[in-house]
Amino acid sequence: LEMNEVAHILKYATGNSLVILDEIGRGTSTFDGMSIARAVIEYVKERIKAKTLFATHYHELTGMADEYEGIKNYTVAVKERGNEVIFLRRIIPGGADKSYGIHVAQLAGLPRKLIQRSQQILAELESCQTNKV
């Protein structure tokens, strides 16, 4: 369904359109999703030339603001106090430098053991990424 909606937007949007896309590629693997998301951004930017709001969790796409004139990054302002994260409900210029997914899961009420295990897995994954570089 998601790709059908994207195809519809790409077919009918014009330079006078306002295109709003949320989490393109979320229903597939990370690299597939990121590739599709980037290609959609490029297509809209280069061919359709519509004003576009594109929400994504792919931090890797924030570099497109350096590559393309007219692409800008915005993020939700947060305040951190120790282990506490407060979402300030303001949109500010810049890309997200950090993910708060586990914190959001905690706010949603997921079990404490699951949150702790998530933090452990995240630390292991981040360690693997650091060791690959």
pLDDT for 130: 61
131 pLDDT more than 80: no
Per-residue pLDDT for 45 more than 70?
Answer: yes
pLDDT, position 132: 55
The tokens describing 62, both together, are 């924030």
So what's the pLDDT on residue 133?
Answer: 44
DSSP string, 15-51: TT-EEEEESTTTTS-HHHHHHHHHHHHHHIIIII--E
- pTM summary value: 0.82
pLDDT(29) > 80: yes
Domain ranges in the chain?
A: 2-72, 100-133
Is residue 42 within 8 A of residue 67, CB to CB? The reply is: no
| Residue 78 pLDDT | 94
The rounded percent of the chain whose pLDDT value lies above 70 is 96
Per DSSP (E only), the strands in the chain are 18-22, 51-55, 74-81, 84-93
Q: pLDDT band for 88, please (50, 70, 90 cuts).
A: very high
What are 101-104's contacts with CB under 8 Å, separation 24+? Answer: 101/57
Mean pLDDT for all residues in the chain: 93
Nearest-10 crossing angle of helices 2-12, 30-43? 10
